[in-house]
Amino acid sequence: MSNIFHKIVTKKVQMDLIYEDDMVIAFNDINPISSTHILILPKTFIATLDDIQEKHEKILGRMLFVTAKIAKQKHLNRDGYRVVINCKQHGRQEIFYLHMHLLGGRKGTKKFY
């Protein structure tokens, strides 16, 4: 395992952290597609959404809780925001380490199908 997210979680690559606890880490995306674009990752490696197991339930819940908490701190909850998880190639997942995108700060221009 040597992708960039694993290196961030294991502190081999430094990022300007927005949030961190024993289960989750969050930081700004280096290639944002919105004025606010934050990535939320579990500290436990899970390659894709298809790889989750029942034992990951608490981690996934924590990811969602932290995402909502950050959205409130950034005042994105006033007008709304988008949370996206891409899964595998056709889902446009580029880095195979489960992560969520928190997007906000402006109205989305495209609808998902």
pLDDT at position 69 is 98
Q: Under CATH, to which class is 4-104 assigned?
A: alpha beta
CA angle 25, 28, 32 (to 5 degrees): 140
Tens of pLDDT along 37-95?
999 999 999 999 999 999 999 999 999 999 999 999 999 999 999 999 999 999 999 99
Of 22-36, 45-59, 97-111, which gets the smallest average pLDDT?
A: 97-111
- Distance between CA atoms of 74 and 26, rounded to whole angstroms? 13
Domain boundary assignment for the chain = 4-104
Residue 113 has pLDDT above 50, yes or no: no
- pLDDT, residue 50, reads 97
The set of catalytic residues is 99
Q: What is the mean pLDDT of residues 7-36?
A: 94
The full DSSP string for 37-91 is EEEEEESS---SGGG--GGGHHHHHHHHHHHHHHHHHTTTTTT-EEEE---TTTT
Question: Cα separations (Å) of 28 from 42, 50, 55, 112?
Answer: 15, 25, 28, 22
